Structure 1
Amino acid sequence: MAFLVCPTCGAEYHALISDPKTWYAERYPDVAVGSVVPGLCFDCFPDLAVGDIVDIRNHGEPLDGQTVSVQKIVLDPAGCGAIYFVRLPNGRDRALARCNLSKHREALDADPPAPPKDGYF
């Protein structure tokens, strides 16, 4: 198992790796197997583009959980990141960092997952 911290949003998670020794040796040869390493989380991994539907997160009330669309992306010419301008439901635009956005997934709005079947665990 590998332990990771997302360098974009700070989320801590673990990844089930079938061969952790090889995985660490290939990606982080100077780090001990089982150590915490950087890795983009599921929410930060996808690139965002103008027109994408995203959810606001890690920003605070009342914006957290709102679903909005990306209107404009401004990239820093030095390569240190981008600012994403989104249109809020009230019609105002807001500038947010990538760590405050996750790509909206329709599956989250669908039916809740089925409970585990007997004997599953």
Structure 2
Amino acid sequence: MSTPQIEAFLEMMAVERDASPHTLSAYGRDLADAEAGIDGGLMRGDEAGLEAWYAGLARQGLSPATQARRRSAVRQFYRFALGEGWRSDDPSRRLDAPKQGRSLPKTL
């Protein structure tokens, strides 16, 4: 499910930031997931709804890297929405980054 606001954001990412097709595809999926998972969607969602959606990502078993990408996509979307005047607040400002585990060394 993609809204006109998500489409505008992805278009901006493609044109102004020269985002790769893979990035645009991943961000599109991430934002569609957020749109469906946040009460009221991205445009009407509040901090509590956004935090509940984000906390649910770990319960779904998504890796910390995937959680971080979804957080990044949503935060960039809200910055864009503020700049466009679609929202007067940024409910993503308090989202904490997921804890990234340290990888083991390649050789011992």
Higher helix share: 2
- For the superposition of Structure 1 and Structure 2, which TM-score range results when normalised by the shorter chain? under 0.3
TM-score (norm 1): 0.26
Higher alpha-carbon Rg: 1
TM-score (norm 2): 0.28
Greater relative CO (CA pairs within 8 A, separation 6+): 2
